[in-house]
Amino acid sequence: MMRAVRLHPPGGIDTLSVDEIEVPEPGPGEALVRVHAAAITRDELDWPTDRLPAIVSYELSGVVDEVAGDVGDLAIGDEVFALTPFDRDGVAAEDAVVPAAFLAPKPHGLSHVESAAFPLAGLTAWQGLFVRGELQPNQRVLILGATGGVGHLATQLATWRGAHVVGTASAGATELAREFGAEQVLDPTAPFVGSIEPVDLVFDTVGGHALARSADVLREGGRLVAVAEEPPPEIAERVDTTYFVVEPDRQQLVELAKLANDGILRPAIDSVFPLKDARGAFERVMSSGKRGKVVIEVNHA
């Protein structure tokens, strides 16, 4: 048996509990991972699910415990990290079954807690900036939420790519946004037009008013990429907008791990909670004023 954090019908934070359930068995193409840390994301309890009860959290760092017979490139004892698919049970548990194709070698310079904070936010930032946003060196990008879970990695990645980053960060986080690479930092409630030069790309991780106002600082032909919510129709009618859902991608994780090992990319850990206090972790992740990711650490007896 193992402990797992599960969301029960009808959903919502009050239905979370730490349950004793059977350890899952890996099927073809899968591996069983002993989870050392699993990170969580604001709003993830609201993501649509028709399969409650469901284990929460979709990113982990751990050690391979068992592999299916048809998996050739993983061995028991390998240290791995991954973003796991959203259409099956998550990974906030002592053990988790994960498709082997999504498991990448854990960055050797990072702890399990730091590595678990990487996959969902790092892949969202990578895919938003480079795949959807096609960000090029010397272009200008406005990152809404530059010190949040996704935004702090996006700020570092855009800087590494050679782009000029303007970030939004609420009071108290300005200096941190600059440390991540932002050349200019705006209060999210301040007017954007008149405060900054036009940008080639807006990457939105906040939504709401900031998202709506950001369209006005896009240069002609610029693009708005959003992940927190779909841009409203009045924005989508007048600028090139993209909303997307991040996808697991082993090769991109390998690239991110290399940047972490080279000291270029640094995940920020806002807070760490034990598995038994998963509710506390979700209360924290839903609050404003965080600095990076909230992680659940799994201690094995």
Ligand X SMILES: NC(=O)c1ccc[n+]([C@@H]2O[C@H](COP(=O)([O-])OP(=O)(O)OC[C@H]3O[C@@H](n4cnc5c(N)ncnc54)[C@H](OP(=O)(O)O)[C@@H]3O)[C@@H](O)[C@H]2O)c1
Give the separation between CA 136 and CA 52, rounded to whole angstroms: 42
- Which CB atom, from 40 or from 64, has the smaller least distance to ligand X? 40
Where in 7-36 is the site for ligand X (CB under 6 A)? Answer: none
Tokens standing for residue 84? 């796991």
Told to check if 149 binds ligand X by CB under 6 A, we report: yes
57 binds ligand X (CB under 6 A): no
Within 101-120, the residues that bind ligand X by CB under 6 A are 120
For residue 147, state whether it binds ligand X (rule: CB under 6 A): yes
By CB atoms closer than 10 A (0-12, 13-18, 19+), residue 64 is buried
Give the residue, chosen from 64, 121, 158, 298, that forms a contact with ligand X under the rule CB under 6 A.
Answer: 121
Tokens matching residue 146: 């530059």
Confirm or reject binding of residue 124 to ligand X (CB under 6 A).
Answer: yes
Q: Is 145 in the site for ligand X (CB under 6 A)?
A: yes
Closest CA to 224 of 198, 247, 249, 188: 198
Which of 64, 246, 256, 268 binds ligand X (CB under 6 A)? It is 246
How far separated are the first and last CA of the chain, in Å rounded?
13
CA distances from 57 to 47, 53, 82, 142, 155 (A): 11, 13, 11, 28, 23
Query: Does residue 211 belong to the site contacting ligand X (CB under 6 A)?
Result: no
If we measure between CA atoms, which residue out of 64, 140, 117, 162 comes closest to residue 256?
117
Q: For residue 169, which of 187, 189, 149 has the smallest C-alpha distance?
A: 187
Backbone angles phi, psi at 233, to 5 degrees: -55, -35
Q: Minimum distance from CB of 22 to ligand X (Å)?
A: 30
- Asked if 290 is part of the footprint of ligand X (rule: CB under 6 A), the reply reads yes
143 makes contact with ligand X (CB under 6 A): no
In the complex with ligand X, which residue's Cβ is closer, 76 or 195? 195
Binding flag, residue 148, ligand X (CB under 6 A): yes
Count, residues near ligand X per rule CB under 6 A: 25
Q: Which residues bind ligand X (CB under 6 A)?
A: 41-44, 120-121, 124, 145, 147-151, 169-170, 173, 205-206, 227-228, 245-246, 288-290
